[in-house]
Structure 1
């Protein structure tokens, strides 16, 4: 080969695959040496490496900016205006996600911090018998206050796995958190307002200013079916992890709509409009937070006419014990793995890990959720036969029997609901000397 394997895989993965695997479709002899030189280490499971799959070692993203903000960890910064930052999976290695490591997803600007959170007021109006105007203090005194561990996930989590690339921030798996949210149930407030027979949907509004600076222009206003609004885990939250809600995460009051796209969990909440028709605010309709009913040709232009709302998020898992690209000492023969899994409104029934490129899978110990809509932690030990290059493939299966697919499915223009099997490269022992 007149070019190194590293150069070839970096510039033309398909050609590299053809040259490395050849007609036999297997790694052996010179081809195996080429691939090992490309990844920089021996590949003990090379016999089961499938053609057509770019080794995870080559899939490292380019240098990303890091979020530099008081009170926040060094998250991966996808956008500065509005601020959108992702949590590396290894920073999610705790049962309850700390506020400083929670991902950040905004659609507009960040309102200034409120001096008196107790006086913050929001309204409930529309298809209700008795419209309400309540302060946070009145919410706390009038309705039962509850604390629930709840998953909060961006609808575009996993977008980077869609091929061809979709529009929007290239989230990996880290637009997820599992905080302990304190607030009152939205259900209790809606029932106090008295729902009319036509109350079928909600619309949500917040105080985040539009990026244009135009007064009165709404950044985002999404809504949901009334059934989800009446779910016991849909909260009007004013606390997080035993402390007041941080301004960056929606203080003094926000919605938390667990298991559905995080865009429904309106920050800096000012108004809930109960409607008899689906909400039509910014962020609704077309291809916004909607997915195709039937598969479409990837990369094509679509207006969303035959799309439906993305509601319960698909099953997904993360690996929190080992970062992608981890190097471990020579002679390491056991890996103690940990992570989390969740499945929108459903539960997770199984978690598996593969060390041989998906040829075989080992079941991990899966722990019950703290409550409905909380994620589930998992752990397990795998044995490696020798030093070299490995890929940890990890996948979850939900309570309906659906497991993470090997490739992102149901391509859509804005890249929602991509949840393929995830892969993390791990190097054990010495790496090979690779010529420049």
Structure 2
């Protein structure tokens, strides 16, 4: 073990070059770090690894597995656009921006911190937002075409704090890597949306017994410019469309929706994959069978009913559509890679947690690699389908390298797992415990 690392090569470099050899050099048969390997690992992360004896077998420091922004070129690529804070760039064509967890420290997410997930090109800005038209047709008794002004005046206006989360949030956790934007935990927002209940509009149109599913349409052109294909067009069972929190939204946080987030009107289907919350919303059709639009069927927003071999190909024939999103938490008080002053002996943590259609029952944090857990205080949601803020304090016995592990448990007793489960080709549903590296001293 004394010769595990040469002085000119860090542990991080060794793992980048040859992970299998690095494992053989670093970990003994019991899977514990010791001697020169432990010292080299500490040098690589910038300080002695506190609670190293409790590191689970094969676990690498989080700074190796997820580079921090503070590490410069090796950290995530950042971008700032007009109307948004600096965000993590996940894709340029189409534009996809993720909010860093520390940007999500507000109880109500401001407009400039709402993540960006485009599927096609941006449509032109509406010259007359109040005149924008929305059509309701298909299996209804009275097809309707209503302007935004008519929606406002004809139906009850409601304002709700609602979680909206990309179906692929957490995708970067999967190994082997899957297709799609490699999201961390920041494809989430909890803004205050104003609009009308979709169910009120559907009732006005008179949904027939045969109208069991919806299909959604927007004005955003396909990325290729093709006019015979939609950028995205998803749908859901009519029961979710009739949920009292499913909205046709025309305002957010007391003002117009930003164009890049779907102005002048969008759907808001909280708790389910954000792809259902059609941006630049123009039409909803009622159908007797599931919608067959872009983003439906196959492996799109669908999960295996039975586990499949990670890395294998699959046509999604036995997959099921994603519905309620899994329980997840974020840490907004401290960024991954934070360095604190020597002598710091406690951390006041805070963040948010949510669980799709369910609520969050508990949040716990650990600084000793999961050996012990401290229960955090969890606030009640502002309303159904809003996230819940949490806070609490953990003790740090000495200077050194720590990892804050944080996990949430939903109202059904389901806890975030230690590793992402149910691998699938497009990387949906990964909600493993998160780890933030903290260096004291």
Measured against the shorter chain, the TM-score band is: over 0.9
1:399 maps to what in 2? 411
Gapped runs of 5+ residues in structure 2? 68-73
Change (3 A) 1:382 1:226: same
Distance in structure 1 (CA, Å) of the matches to 2:288 and 2:309: 34
What displacement does 1:57 show? 1.4
- RMSD after superposition: 1.1
2:172 to 143, 146, 160: 160
Distance in structure 2 (CA, Å) of the matches to 1:64 and 1:382: 28
Distance in structure 1 (CA, Å) of the matches to 2:60 and 2:293: 41
1:192 maps to what in 2? 204
Distance in structure 1 (CA, Å) of the matches to 2:265 and 2:334: 35
What displacement does 1:12 show? 2.8
Distance in structure 2 (CA, Å) of the matches to 1:265 and 1:342: 18
The answer to whether the 8 Å contact 2:132/2:264 transfers is: yes
Distance in structure 2 (CA, Å) of the matches to 1:6 and 1:281: 44
What is the aligned length? 429
1:53 maps to what in 2? 59
Q: Equivalences for 1:107-146 in 2 at 5 Å?
A: 107-146=119-158
1:336 matched to 2:342: no
What displacement does 1:14 show? 3.5
1:30 maps to what in 2? 36
Change (3 A) 1:356 1:14: farther
Distance in structure 2 (CA, Å) of the matches to 1:388 and 1:135: 60
The answer to whether the 8 Å contact 2:324/2:356 transfers is: yes
What displacement does 1:27 show? 2.5
Distance in structure 2 (CA, Å) of the matches to 1:268 and 1:32: 54
The answer to whether the 8 Å contact 1:97/1:177 transfers is: yes
Q: Equivalences for 1:214-225 in 2 at 5 Å?
A: 214-225=226-237
2:246 maps to what in 1? 234
Report which stretch shifted further, 109-118 or 132-141.
Answer: 109-118
1:106 matched to 2:90: no
2:19 to 13, 23, 27: 13
Distance in structure 1 (CA, Å) of the matches to 2:31 and 2:144: 67
The answer to whether the 8 Å contact 1:14/1:52 transfers is: no
Cα offsets for 1:379-418 (capped at 9, x unmatched): 0011100000000000000111010000010000000010
Normalising by structure 1, we get a TM-score of: 0.96
Cα offsets for 1:363-393 (capped at 9, x unmatched): 0000000000000000001110000000000
Distance in structure 2 (CA, Å) of the matches to 1:427 and 1:407: 24
What displacement does 1:294 show? 0.5
Indicate the SS of the match to 2:215: strand
Q: Equivalences for 1:206-355 in 2 at 5 Å?
A: 206-355=218-367
Distance in structure 2 (CA, Å) of the matches to 1:38 and 1:380: 29
The answer to whether the 8 Å contact 1:149/1:181 transfers is: yes
What displacement does 1:63 show? 4.2
Distance in structure 1 (CA, Å) of the matches to 2:412 and 2:75: 38
Indicate the SS of the match to 2:240: helix
The answer to whether the 8 Å contact 2:31/2:58 transfers is: no
The answer to whether the 8 Å contact 2:27/2:58 transfers is: no
Indicate the SS of the match to 2:362: strand
Cα offsets for 1:303-337 (capped at 9, x unmatched): 00000001100000000000000000000011000
Indicate the SS of the match to 1:233: coil
1:370 matched to 2:382: yes
Distance in structure 1 (CA, Å) of the matches to 2:397 and 2:80: 41
What displacement does 1:193 show? 0.5
The answer to whether the 8 Å contact 2:366/2:373 transfers is: yes
Cα offsets for 1:183-212 (capped at 9, x unmatched): 000000001110101110000000001111
1:359 maps to what in 2? 371
What displacement does 1:216 show? 4.1
Normalising by structure 2, we get a TM-score of: 0.95
2:439 to 424, 427, 431: 427
Distance in structure 2 (CA, Å) of the matches to 1:24 and 1:162: 25
1:434 maps to what in 2? none
